[in-house]
Structure formats: C-alpha cells, structure tokens
Amino acid sequence: MSGWTEFVAAFAVFLLSHAIPARPAVRARLVGALGERGFLIAYSIESLVVLTWLIVATGRAPFVELWPFETWQMWAPNLALPLVCQFAAFGIGAANPLSFGGDPRKSFDPQHPGVVGIVRHPLLWAIGLWAGAHAVPNGDLAHGLLFGFFALIALLGMMIIDRRKRRQLGAARWAELAARTSFWPFAALISGRFKPRPSRISALRLALGVAAWLSLLLLHPLVIGVSPLP
C-alpha cells in the first residue's frame, strides 16, 4: 500500500481496533478469555502497534500543504508537552470518579480532589493538548486530519463523559463531586474553588511526568526522525 491508501487503511484499522473491543459483548468475551489484567495488557499493546502504524502512514501520505511551516510553530508542542506529561502522570490511576483512567478502588474526596481540581479530565486533556499543539507545526492535510481527529475526539469525549456521569450519578451527586473541579484546566484553581495543598502533591508522579517529557524530547529524533527543538 502507498499514498492515501495506507493512510485510510491505518485510520480504519485504528477506529475498528478501538470500537470493536469496547462493545460490551466483545469485551466480556475477551476478559473471560484473558482476564481483566490480560485484556488491558493486550489492548494496550494492540493500541500502541496500531497507533505507531497510523503515525508512520501519516508521514508517508502525499504532502498537501494547508499552511506553510515556520520555525516559531515548533514552540507550540515544546511548551505544551511538559503540561501534557504532568496531566498524564497525575491522571493515570488517580482517584477520579468523573472521568476515565483513574483507579475506582481509590476513595475520592470532593473537598480535596487532587489533580481533578486542576482539570476534571486530565488524560483527555493530555491527548487534546498533545494533538492540538502538534497540529501547529504540521500544516499538511494528512497530519491535520490525524491531529485534528485526536483533538476533536478528546474534546467530544470530555463532553460525553460529563453528560453520562451526570446521568449515572444524578445531578445532585454529580454537582457535589464536581464542585471543586473544572472542565477547563486551572479554572477551579483561578476561581478559588480549588485550593491545593502542596504537602499532598506526589513527588513521584511529578518526577514521572518530568521523566516522560525528557524521554519524549530525547527519543523524538530517533523515533520520528525530526528534532522537536526549534
């Protein structure tokens, strides 16, 4: 396959590989065969492989310029990625009944919501910021479709989850849990609804976020073939 054919095929496989396992009947059968942990490991590996193919196929697609490249555009991902990595580091496995990616076994305190007080959907915002920032220096059609898709899915995902959680929990309970959180990053902090306690900030998660950012920065030329620095 070459040109747009590979790009369309990779996009289709990516969508199907996420849509099919998410169906309750399919997921139940896979969990029954692999176990919950086995399913999550297999799903993660499969997602990474398909995503890698999609990124490679995007790079091979015919170049159709949407806007010209300027060196200053590279500052967008360079400024966004440290925040993206911190959102991911603090969001994965956190106590968060209002979004996905958290640990349901952890107790959530709406008076002290942790990272959820910074942003209600840390992982989806990480994806959206990553995609939106990378779209800026990649002004061709294929990359515009790729990063635009991820940014749109992240935004729609947050809106859908908020609506679903409000329905599942009931309006009163959802409002109680979300009182010190915000859809937009830092909005609850700026308004004063959320007042973080520095002593409760996890040094380990902070270090993991920094390590992830530095790893992406150093590996980008080797994996993607282009230096991320202006």
Q: Are residues 123 and 84 part of one domain? A: yes
SS3 140: strand
Distance CA 42, CA 28 (A): 14
Q: Are residues 71 and 56 part of one domain? A: no
Q: Are residues 72 and 58 part of one domain? A: no
Distance CA 77, CA 84 (A): 10
Q: Are residues 113 and 176 part of one domain? A: yes
CA neighbours closer than 13 Å in the CB half-sphere of residue 88: 17
Look up residue 153 and give its DSSP letter: H
Range of the domain at 95: 67-224
Q: Are residues 17 and 83 part of one domain? A: no
In a domain, 230, yes or no: no
CB proximity list for 135: less than 8 A, separation 6 or greater: 143, 144, 147, 148, 151
Residue 1: its pLDDT value, please?
54
In a domain, 229, yes or no: no
Q: Are residues 73 and 51 part of one domain? A: no
Domain closes at, from 62, 79, 109 = 62
CB proximity list for 134: less than 8 A, separation 6 or greater: 76, 77, 143, 147
Residue 132: its pLDDT value, please?
96
Q: Are residues 209 and 114 part of one domain? A: yes
Q: Which residues pair with 140 in a beta bridge?
A: 65
Q: Are residues 103 and 167 part of one domain? A: yes
What's at 139, amino acid-wise? G
Q: Residue with structure tokens 């991320």?
A: 228
Residue 81: its pLDDT value, please?
96
**Tally of domains in the chain:** 2
Residue 24: its pLDDT value, please?
81
Look up residue 193 and give its DSSP letter: S
Per residue of the chain (230 residues), what is the pLDDT tens digit?
A: 567 999 999 999 999 988 888 788 888 888 888 887 788 788 888 888 998 899 889 989 999 999 999 999 999 999 999 999 999 999 988 999 999 877 777 899 999 999 999 999 999 999 999 999 999 999 999 999 999 999 999 999 999 999 999 999 999 999 999 999 999 999 999 999 999 888 888 999 999 999 999 999 998 888 888 888 88
Residue 2: its pLDDT value, please?
62
Residue 3: its pLDDT value, please?
74
Please state, as a whole number, how many other Cβ atoms lie within 10 Å of the Cβ of residue 128: 24
Residue 165: its pLDDT value, please?
93
In a domain, 152, yes or no: yes
Q: Are residues 91 and 169 part of one domain? A: yes
